[in-house]
Amino acid sequence: MRTLTIVGSTALMMWLVASGISLAAGHSWTTTTGDVRVACPLTVGGSFEARTMALAGRLSLDPATTVLAGELSVDLKTLDTGISLRNHHMLDNYLEVQKSEDFETAVLSDIDVGSLTSGIAKGQNRFTARLHLHGTTQAVAGKATMSERGSSVDVEASFPIRISDYAIPAPRYLGVGVKNEVVVHVVFVADKIS
C-alpha cells in the first residue's frame, strides 16, 4: 500500500526525461500533495480502498543513468479503509505496523525511467522500481501519466502488487478475504527544488 506514493514521483521523473527538461547537478523534485489509494478486491466480489495522503519524498536524476536517486515513502499507519475494525485488522494483523519502524512505511527506490529515453512525453509511460514493504523488497512495474504546470508536475500512476510477495498473511475475516493482487493508484504534485 505504501507503493502508491513512490509511483507518482517516478512518473514525474520519467516525464522530465521524456520532455528533455535538463536537470543540472543538485536539482531535485519533491512531492507536495498526494492521494494514495490501494484497490483491494474481495474474494466474494466487491472491493474496498485503503487511502492516505501521507506521501513524502525527494528524487534527483543523474544524466548518466536512467535510475533516479532518492526515494519516496508512505506512512502506512495513516491508511484508512473507512471502517475502524477493518483498519485495525489491516494495520495490526496484516501490515503489522507495530512490529518495527521497518514495517511502518512503504518505500519506493531505484526508479528506472529508461523506457522514456526515447522521447515519449505524453500518454501512459512504463517504469520499474523497487518497493520495500513489510520488511521485504521486490521489483514492481507500472504505468504513469503526467503533465507540466509551471514549475510543478501533476502525476497519476498505478501498479499492481501481490500481497504474498511481501510475506503479508492472506487478509481474511469471517470467511471473506482480499485477493492476492491489489492495485496501488497515486495522484500527486511534485515541485522542482533549486
Condensed to tens digits (0 to 9), the pLDDT of residues 123-146 reads 567 888 999 999 999 999 998 777
Domain extent, residue 59, equals: 3-193
Check pLDDT > 50 for residue 66.
yes
The confidence score (pLDDT) of residue 68 equals 74
Rounded distance between C-alpha atoms, residue 97 and residue 50, angstroms: 15
Averaged pLDDT, 60-64: 71
Reduced to 3 states (helix: H, G, I; strand: E, B; else coil), residue 123 is: coil
**Is residue 152 within 8 Å of 190, Cβ to Cβ?**
yes
Rounded distance between C-alpha atoms, residue 31 and residue 125, angstroms: 19
pTM over 0.75: yes
171 residue type, one letter: P
CATH for 71: 2.40.128.110
Confidence of residue 36 (pLDDT cuts 50, 70, 90): very high
Reduced to 3 states (helix: H, G, I; strand: E, B; else coil), residue 110 is: strand
Question: What does the DSSP 8-state code read for residue 171?
Answer: P
Choice between 3 and 106, residue whose per-residue pLDDT is larger: 106
Domain count, the chain: 1
